[in-house]
Amino acid sequence: MAKEKSLINKWSHLKSEIKRRPILGLKLGLSAETLHHYYYHTPPDEEILRVEATLYKDRAEKTKRIRDELSKVVGHREAVKISQKIGISDSKLRDIMEGKDLTPSYDIIAKIEFFLFMIFGFDVSLENEEFKNAYLETLVDNLSSKVNSIGISLLRCSENMAFLKKYPVNKNYPKLSSSDEYYIKGPLSAIGWDLKKLTEVHEEIQIFMDAYVRKGKDIR
């Protein structure tokens, strides 16, 4: 029973990968009819294991291909900066480059392929071709959302500043209560935090511009 549940869970994950990248079905040698059937019915155990092994091998081959290209542009010291441009952690990038991670997820492979495409004109895997535009659009949407969130927070701080009008500008104003201290320090603290986040998102936008926009390459 435990083994059956494990295989069912395994197939659920594999199926989600194939659904997101239907072209993988060709690599698996599955007809459209068979693939459609497997979307709604669990395949035999040996078929699940075959699919798992095939996709594992596919990810390993793609990882080796991107590792060879990454070695041309990424030194140990540049890992942090390059990983930010790609959109993955520097530890994950190092693991891939050092051969510690031989089969990263398809999502990570896609991000690295897109980055290498912009730098070298790297041939993106067939299943990732359709995601080029969506990938960059998602990056822009995420950056826009961060800027919008900071803007809302700053506006809220601005509204809270009206609280300060209750205090007269003279040296005889009463001692502040703990509640007053909270309302006065709150906007200052929030503004400081927003400035920190704004600096971070400014750097992210700069990285995006340098990595994608200023390359002058049309990926459409």
Mean pLDDT by 10 residues, the chain (220 residues): 74 90 88 90 92 95 93 75 84 91 93 85 83 78 90 82 64 59 66 88 83 54
What global pTM score does this model have? 0.68
* Domain membership flag for residue 50: yes
- How crowded is residue 78: how many other Cβ atoms within 10 Å of its Cβ? 13
Domain count, the chain: 2
Check residue 2 and give its pLDDT. 57
Tokens of 162: 């009206």
Identify the domain boundary among 78, 108, 124: 124
Residue 143 and residue 63 in one domain: no
Handedness of CA 14, 17, 20, 22 (dihedral sign): negative
Residue 18 structural domain: 2-124
pLDDT at 153: 87
Is residue 220 one of the residues assigned to a domain? no
pLDDT of residue 216: 46
pLDDT attached to residue 219:
39
User: 203: helix, coil or strand?
Assistant: helix
